[in-house]
Structure 1
Amino acid sequence: MEIKLTDQLDQIYQDARTIRHHVFVEEQGIAETDEFDGTDSDAIHFVGYVNGEPVVTARTTVTKKGVHIQRVATEKAARHQAYAKQLLEYLLDQPMFEDAPMFYLGAQKTAIGFYQTLGFEKYGEPFEEVGIPHVNMRRTHSAADHHDR
């Protein structure tokens, strides 16, 4: 799989939008205005391509807390082939993030186990966003070092 990233609203970003529209708007029924909330221009978008086709995406923003990972999505036909895991491992290993105190995200409840395989742990109280149960998860760099051993 080839992974590309962008902080511009270019073709890579358009590919990310397409995946997110398919997964979050069409499949999960999230309102387009909630999914595309006007903050994409502040993010770095990662897209994984298989045979030139965009199949998986995620976006990140750097905050005071660390690197916020959002909008992780895999096209239905490409699921269960470890593309999201490959994309996130690539993202977590980016030199531009090496000084961040942690990576954090709001995981849909159905994805908690997936994020745990990448060294994330739950914290705080569960919450609901766009009608879907979520839980906050984080991974510190020390946890990442421990996880890789």
Structure 2
Amino acid sequence: MLAKVVQTEKEMQDAFSIRMKVFVEEQKVPAEEEVDENEEMSVHVVLYDESMPVGTGRIREADGYGKLERICILPSYRGKGAGSLIMKELEIVAAPNIEKFKLNAQTQAIPFYEKLGYEVRSGVFMDAGIPHVTMIKSRL
């Protein structure tokens, strides 16, 4: 598997395709909430297995943090290291002056992010009808 920074329109469409399958079809997030005003100011990453897109995520600078968002993996690739590959690539492509990262994690994904060094920093809140917490990690 190879994580790649999006550079072409096809790669961007691959990212949106994964997000639609995971967030809209699987998790029932309203389609109009999935694409937002932060798309163009974010760096997007797509994970490929051969030429098939299997995961994606994005990062942007917000309030001094590298804010990771829209991280998702196709169900058949979960638990196989795909999410870690995306997270590593997102943290690498963050601006060199970014020293800390922030994300809003679905509560079921807290153990995954904790293994990557993130710590819960908020109580549970709802986003698109799904319980989330804010998590932060400082670059070592």
TM-score range, shorter chain: over 0.9
- Name the structure 1 match of 2:3: 3
Q: Which residue of 2 aligns with 1:112?
A: 110
Decide which of 120, 123, 126 is 1:125's aligned counterpart: 123
Q: Which has the higher contact order (CA 8 A, sep 6+)?
A: 2
TM-score with structure 1 setting the length: 0.88
Residue equivalent to 2:86: 87
Give the stretch that moved more between structures: 131-140 or 72-81.
Answer: 72-81
5+ long unaligned stretches in structure 1: none
Q: Confirm or deny that 1:67 pairs with 2:66.
A: yes
User: CA contact under 8 A between 2:46 and 2:57: conserved in structure 1?
Assistant: yes
* Equivalent residue runs for 1:11-30 within 5 Å: 11-30=10-29
Equivalent position amino acid for 1:22 in 2: K
Instruction: Name the CA distance, whole Å, in 2 between partners of 1:84 and 1:67.
Output: 17
- CA deviations on 1:97-121 (whole Å, 9 max, x unpaired) are 3311311000000000000000000
CA distance, structure 2, for counterparts of residue 38 and residue 99 of structure 1:
24
Q: Aligned with 1:124: secondary structure?
A: coil
Partner-residue secondary structure (3-state), 2:33: helix
Query: Would you say the 8 A contact 1:9–1:41 is kept in 2?
Result: no
- In structure 2, list runs of 5 or more residues that go unmatched: none
Q: Would you say the 8 A contact 2:3–2:47 is kept in 1?
A: yes
Report the AA paired with residue 61 of structure 2: V
Residue 9 of structure 1 deviates from its aligned partner by 6.7
Please report the TM-score for the alignment, with normalisation by the length of structure 2.
0.93
Q: Give the SS at the match of 1:72.
A: strand
Query: Does 2:120 align with 1:135?
Result: no
Task: Please tell me the root mean square deviation across aligned C-alpha atoms, in Å.
Answer: 1.4
Query: Could you say which residue in structure 2 is the equivalent of 1:46?
Result: 45
**Aligned partners of 2:64 and 2:103: how far apart in 1?**
11
How many percent identity over aligned positions? 31
User: Is the helix fraction higher in 1 or 2?
Assistant: 1
Structure 1 runs of 4+ with >3 Å offset: none
